[in-house]
Amino acid sequence: MEKILNYIGGNLVEPSGLAYLDNVDPGRGKVYSKVPDSDQIDVEKAFAAASAAFQGWKNTPLETRCAILQRLADKIGENKEALALAEARDNGKPVSLAIHVDIPRAESNIRFFATAAMHWSSESHVMENEAINYTHRKPIGVVGCIAPWNLPLYLFTWKIAPALASGNCVIAKPSELTPMTAYLLAKLAIEAGLPAGVLNILHGLGPKVGDAIVKHPGIKAISFTGGTATGAYIAGTVAPMFKKVSLELGGKNANIIFADADFDEMLSTTLRSSFSNQGQICLCGSRILVEASIYDRFKEAFVHKVSQMKVGDPLLTATKMGAVVSEAHMQKVLGYIELAKQEGGTILCGGNRILLEGELADGYYIAPTVIEGLGPACRTNQEEIFGPVVTLQKFETEEEAIALANDTPYGLAATVWTSHVTKAHRVANELQTGIVWINCWLLRDLRTPFGGVKQSGVGREGGWEAMRFFTEPQNVCIKL
């Protein structure tokens, strides 16, 4: 059985304790590879390698740094099919999604920040006849990047690319549930000629090796994407150590549909925003709020389309909906569906595990599920389910739509459907979220700030926000 290895100091190496965890193929419910169960000793080794590489990497001319990262992006592009297949097998997502979204995005993340480094410049502030200030933005040193399982290579590269491009050395950890493409990335980094120690990838459990990264006194910044409870723990741990921290956390996003929306476009995009990646995208709109005058029309059309969605083998190109990531996650999502029933919700379609045949018989499949009849205060409408489950709620006025949308502890993203321009701006302005999409969903420009408010996180990724996070400004004032 294939053994995934850590990537430390430019080499693929076994974990120091020689211990491994099972890595499960969720589409088949079978262990198919082994993942290192790394510990604090591995973090020390990675830190020594990263510290030794830092002076060289930060002083590497920008053009060379950019060229090396571009070569890594090229390698991702050249290996697109293999990476997509690996992602589908490891995560349960349809290979068609991986090949059209996850892997191309991983490539462009690296390309985007490689070129951003070439345009990154210092600011200067002149005090007339008195002084000139210039602000140097220096790399921090050794930084930690911790990523979740839902968009494995996509979010892993979204963190490490700006960290490396701005001159830091990185110790990165993918989720233990989806380690494969980070391992393949390590092999590509070696082929691309990334200098030894600049990027180190450690595999294993969050509370073990992840915690050791967070607590290491020499690792000066932590960029984390994952659940809100983990984020709260990390925030509490690093605060007294005065580390920089960026936290991209959970969501419970509203999808607000006004009666004057373009119905067909809204319907097809709402199917995607509800169930892409089996609803396991932090930006999915899991609370669908519909203006009362079109509620019945929307409900009928939406439920009809959702009932036709077929769940199938993630590895087949025709599949549009695959497996959820793990047995534990499947049980959690099914538990929320039971809770919705206890809370008085009506299941309009789905609501159950799907048992496929043959080698897929043990896979973790859930029918796409639509629920109505629940008020905003119930747990189903307050807590992140992170699966193929959406609820429908009706609203009468714009004010009520805004109040419903804002009525959760989260504040990551929202979608608004209307053809009324002024209303769109008015509603967007009132929404307590870091991101608002109007008449679209998941349309991403990598230059824009990405992140949430309330319990969806602290800080922003993307564009200059990420380059600023991974650098420390130093102001130099020269008296004239």
When asked if residue 302 is in the footprint of ligand NAD (CB under 6 A), the reply is no
When asked if residue 37 is in the footprint of ligand NAD (CB under 6 A), the reply is no
Instruction: Assess contact for 21 and 326: CB atoms under 8 A.
Output: no
| Closer of 269 and 456 to ligand NAD (Cβ) | 456
Token digits of residue 74: 């090229």
Question: Segment contacting ligand NAD (CB under 6 A): 6-14, 133-141, 146-154, 290-298?
Answer: 146-154
Q: Which residues pair with 31 in a beta bridge?
A: 24
For 99, residues 6+ apart whose C-beta sits below 8 A from its C-beta are 80, 81, 84
| Closer of 214 and 401 to ligand NAD (Cβ) | 214
When asked if residue 211 is in the footprint of ligand NAD (CB under 6 A), the reply is yes
Pick the binder of ligand NAD from 162, 167, 179, 210 (CB under 6 A): 210
Smallest gap, in angstroms, from Cβ of residue 235 to ligand NAD?
11
Instruction: Assess contact for 264 and 439: CB atoms under 8 A.
Output: no
Count Cβ atoms below 10 Å from residue 317 Cβ, excluding itself: 11
Computed over its alpha carbons, how large is the radius of gyration of the chain?
Answer: 23
Pick the binder of ligand NAD from 250, 322, 350, 388 (CB under 6 A): 250
Residues assigned a catalytic role: 248, 282
| Closer of 253 and 319 to ligand NAD (Cβ) | 253
Residues 216-235 that bind ligand NAD (CB under 6 A): 225-227, 230, 233-234
Pick the binder of ligand NAD from 33, 150, 274, 471 (CB under 6 A): 150
In the stretch 457-476, what mask flags binding to ligand NAD with x, by CB under 6 A?
x-------------------
| Closer of 368 and 387 to ligand NAD (Cβ) | 387
Q: Tell which phi-psi region holds residue 78, choosing left (phi > 0), alpha (psi between -120 and 50) or beta.
A: alpha
3-state class percentages of the chain: helix first, strand second, coil last, to nearest 5: 45, 25, 30
Question: Segment contacting ligand NAD (CB under 6 A): 39-47, 101-109, 110-118, 144-152?
Answer: 144-152
When asked if residue 148 is in the footprint of ligand NAD (CB under 6 A), the reply is yes
| Closer of 258 and 450 to ligand NAD (Cβ) | 450
Token digits of residue 387: 């699966």
Instruction: Assess contact for 25 and 93: CB atoms under 8 A.
Output: no
Token digits of residue 437: 């999409």
CA-CA distance, 307 to 349, in Å (whole number)? 6
Residues 320-359 that bind ligand NAD (CB under 6 A): none
In the stretch 172-191, what mask flags binding to ligand NAD with x, by CB under 6 A?
-x-xx---------------
- DSSP code at position 437: E
Three-state DSSP state, 133: strand
Instruction: Assess contact for 471 and 140: CB atoms under 8 A.
Output: yes
When asked if residue 36 is in the footprint of ligand NAD (CB under 6 A), the reply is no
In the stretch 390-429, what mask flags binding to ligand NAD with x, by CB under 6 A?
----------------------x-----------------
When asked if residue 207 is in the footprint of ligand NAD (CB under 6 A), the reply is yes
Question: Segment contacting ligand NAD (CB under 6 A): 181-189, 314-322, 390-398, 452-460?
Answer: 452-460
Question: Segment contacting ligand NAD (CB under 6 A): 45-53, 65-73, 101-109, 171-179?
Answer: 171-179
Smallest gap, in angstroms, from Cβ of residue 312 to ligand NAD?
24
Q: Phi first, then psi: what are they for 471, rounded to 5°?
A: -135, 160
Q: Which residue has the tokens 């321009």?
A: 421
- How many residues in the shown chain lie near ligand NAD by CB under 6 A? 31
Q: What is the DSSP string of 371-402?
A: EES--TTSHHHHS---SSEEEEEEESSHHHHH
Q: Phi first, then psi: what are they for 51, rounded to 5°?
A: -65, -40
Smallest gap, in angstroms, from Cβ of residue 360 to ligand NAD?
23
Identity of the residue numbered 180: M
Token digits of residue 272: 């995607």
Instruction: Assess contact for 477 and 131: CB atoms under 8 A.
Output: yes
When asked if residue 65 is in the footprint of ligand NAD (CB under 6 A), the reply is no
Q: Which residue has the tokens 């990263």?
A: 50
CA-CA distance, 433 to 274, in Å (whole number)? 18
Residue among 143, 203, 196 nearest 169 (CA): 143
Pick the binder of ligand NAD from 7, 54, 149, 156 (CB under 6 A): 149
When asked if residue 384 is in the footprint of ligand NAD (CB under 6 A), the reply is yes
Question: Segment contacting ligand NAD (CB under 6 A): 50-58, 71-79, 118-126, 205-213?
Answer: 205-213
Query: How far is the CA of 35 from the CAs of 13, 51, 179, 248, 409, in angstroms?
Result: 12, 25, 7, 25, 35
When asked if residue 4 is in the footprint of ligand NAD (CB under 6 A), the reply is no
For 369, residues 6+ apart whose C-beta sits below 8 A from its C-beta are 337, 347, 349, 350, 351, 388, 389, 390
Pick the binder of ligand NAD from 86, 98, 214, 267 (CB under 6 A): 214
Instruction: Assess contact for 233 and 74: CB atoms under 8 A.
Output: no
When asked if residue 38 is in the footprint of ligand NAD (CB under 6 A), the reply is no
| Closer of 319 and 456 to ligand NAD (Cβ) | 456
Positions that interact with ligand NAD (CB under 6 A): 146-150, 155, 173, 175-176, 206-207, 210-211, 214, 225-227, 230, 233-234, 248-251, 282, 384, 386, 412, 452, 456-457
